[in-house]
A and B are shown apart, each in its own frame.
Chain A
Amino acid sequence: MIEVVMLAGEFFHPAHKDAESLNPLLPAVQAGFEVLRKTDKGKVIDLLQKFSDNIIKDPSTTGIEGVAFLSSWLRKANIMQIVEKNLKDISYLDHFVGETKRLKAQPRGIACHWIAGNVPTIGLFSLFQSMIVGNANILRIPPQSHDTMVRLLKVFASSRVDGLTGTELLKSTSIIYYDRTDQKANEELSNAADVRIVWGGEEAVKSITGLPRRAHCEDVVFGPKYSFVVLDREATGSKDLPRTLRFLASDILLFDQAACTSPHVVFCEKGGVDVASIARLLGEEMGKLSKRFPKADIDPFIMTRIINVRAEHALDPDASVICPPENDWTVLINKRPGLEEPIESRTIFLKEVDSIMAVLPHVTRKVQTIGCAVDDKAKLVAFADAATSRGVARCVNVGQMHLFDSPWDGMLFMSRLVNWATLYYGE
């Protein structure tokens, strides 16, 4: 059974509409696709700018986690630089460009998105990039994100620029949900796709990419990734350390540390402030942030992992733990080399290293983002070059780990969502 949360601009939430099959939903989405195809893409971007303004003013969306970043991401200047990075020029979306050999970036058709539940707003980053290039969109979104998505999309629906409304654009979009064990629904969605966009962990990615698909269908996979932080001795010895740790605390707390961009380990280079002092200061910052943003979602499974890892570090003579009595934030120090199994939910491991370069052997292709507080810029460039050659996609400032950008996971996402079409004619 498929639960329909939104179909062609009409919302069915919280009381969703049931559908036996995906096929009856497709004509409405296809009709919306025709409307979107004819819409000037510059106007779509203008409407996203309006939406950006509205979500930070509208009381129904202001409190949503990540909404401030979403708003800044939706700004016209940012979207235009994404379009230009991916397609060189927005005009490729609206008409053939060039002389004799003319090029146009045509939409692929229907983009089907399998969205993970860890970051409630991630579906919008996926949706809007696909919408800008003119694709129709069907998103399978986990129930825990429905409320956030609907609140935001209702504001989008009511946004208006020069006679174009969000409702009009959403006619090409549908949001659905079905249980992950529903093979029939999964296969229907896969078969409907001209492009499959998969966000998720290993299990989800494997099961979705293994579904039958049409021969021309393109796959874009944002699979499971791991992130960590390096602090060099100049950064830990600097007067800016409290500010760096404040930013680090924010990177740890956002999205309950379940995003691919969430740091799990901090490597501290010896020679600056000692790791125990960094741990204490970081604990203070995490404590302050935790008071402002209490944990919203208590997963007993993760709580038991926190209980276990705290006990493990309290029992290990070579390790230590700083934490409050409740299973909120936890700072752990140990001497084990390498990365750690993520615990999530505000749990961070600190390790001392002789040099940040000593971390490189532990970098695998699973690592996506490295938050860097490296004041020695020559060292930073050398480190980033070596890390990215091992598969790391992003080396960014601490405090900016979650800034969704293009490229993402090493991919120019939007460029994967178009068919480059050519038109030849001369004088």
Chain B
Amino acid sequence: MDLKQTVNDLIAREQFKLPQAEKEGALLPVLAQQVKENAAFSPQLEKFYTTLGKEPSAYASIADIPPIPVSMFKKFALKTCPDDQVSRVLNSSATTSGIPSRIYINKETALRQSKGLVAILKDFIGGARRPVLAIDTEGVNKGDADTLSARGAAIRGISNFGKKLVYVMDEKDGELFLNRERLENFMAEFKGQEILVSGFTYIIWTRFLKQVQDAGLKLDFPAMKLVHSGGWKKLSAQAVTKDKFSKALASAFNTKQENIIDFYGMVEQLGVIFLDCEAGHKHAPDFAEVIIRDPYTMKEQPHGKPGLIEIASIIPSSYPGQAIITEDVGETVGVDDCPCGRKGKYFVFRSRVERAETRGCGDTFAERRKDE
């Protein structure tokens, strides 16, 4: 097997076409070989894979690969290529723990990430380049080019499809304000045209939408697509559901609710994002897989049972991203039979893992947990 060629073929092809069994058959040997190469390159990774799993040649399914917890990218410099091939080190924003993840990227990985993202987005929003309205400040993608926040990553990804990128918010004293002039110019120039809108869900709801409504602005982009992600924990606390969000934004842009698309993704797994389909499900592309694990047994959960979300991907060759387990909870809904027609597993995101309640007199951990 020419590993690189197989990987490139799986990423470049039209996505969401492989039925689950075929997909597992295609991905498993690739992932197993990549894990083997990771272990051969790094004694640290070899120790990890052998301590917590079996020989890659004995993997019977993708779920047999021991997943690396996403937080390990904050604690260790996890690399699978020589230093001189690292073209960029991405530092994720450290919103929760205060410590950023460090992701080592070589040219090959960067190219695959870009191709993977394009392949996924093409399937959801079409391939045509169009104007992009970023609901954020330009600063989110400026400054240290190696630091990438979840907010910035979403906009960068979408901007691959942009022929013109307009940031519509300004930052002043740490607060975001709508730049009405830029928005009105954008409306005047592209009114009625197909446009893309991208941004962080929480900012769209609490800053953009509110200020647009307060200003009495009427947007008119029936042919737009809004792709958004992040901040659902805070929004849920404000009783904002996905349906309520989509309805309000569709109304604000004078478009259909189906054009408001939520997605799930992470900086540690760039190139793989999970957009909501018309049926409200998130789909794994043909070059990646989602595994929902029972938090106790670590076995794959049956459909409808919530568990920890793990993302497996064949994209990375510079860091061990073949299987990364998150601290997010989701559940698979089905396989190969989503009404939208996409093949493979489909799932829904539920929440971040939260501690139920402070547990009592043994809870000395609580002191350090305050900011998490």
Contacts and interface: CB of A to CB of B under 8 A. Distances in A.
Given A299-B355, A311-B52, A341 B368 contact: yes
Interface string B348-372: 0000011111111111111110000
A315 B356 contact: no
Interface in B316-349: 325, 327, 329
A325 B72 CA distance: 19
B329 A315 contact: no
A257 interface: yes
Nearest to B49: A314
A223 B361 contact: yes
Contact of B362 (A225, A311, A317): A225
Contacts of B298: 307, 325-327
Contact of A298 (B296, B329, B360): B296
A199 B360 contact: yes
B98 to A, nearest CB: 15
B51 interface: yes
Contacts of A117: 357, 359-360
A301 B354 contact: yes
Contacts of A325: 297-298
A315 B366 contact: no
B71 interface: yes
A300 B355 CA distance: 8
B139 interface: no
B244 interface: no
B296 A327 contact: yes
A200 B361 contact: yes
Interface of A, helix, strand, loop or mixed by DSSP: loop
Contact of A303 (B76, B296, B365): B296
Contact of B76 (A224, A315, A342): A315
A304 B69 contact: yes
Contact of B47 (A200, A295, A314): A314
Interface residues of B, number: 38
A315 B48 contact: yes
B168 interface: no
B358 A344 contact: no
Given A304-B353, A317-B43, A317-B44, A118 B72 contact: no
Contact of A311 (B68, B359, B360, B367): B68
A100 interface: no
Contact of A300 (B51, B75, B329, B368): B329
B295 A258 contact: no
Interface string B50-67: 011000000000000000
A203 interface: yes
A8 B76 CA distance: 58
A304 B360 contact: no
B296 A224 contact: no
A308 B72 contact: yes
Contact of A116 (B69, B295, B361): B361
A224 B48 CA distance: 34
Contacts of A301: 353-356
17 contacts: A116-B363, A117-B357, A119-B360, A199-B361, A201-B359, A201-B366, A204-B360, A224-B361, A224-B366, A258-B363, A259-B360, A303-B308, A307-B308, A315-B44, A316-B76, A317-B43, A327-B295
The 4 A-B pairs at the shortest CB distance, nearest first, are namely A116-B360, A118-B360, A201-B363, A303-B295
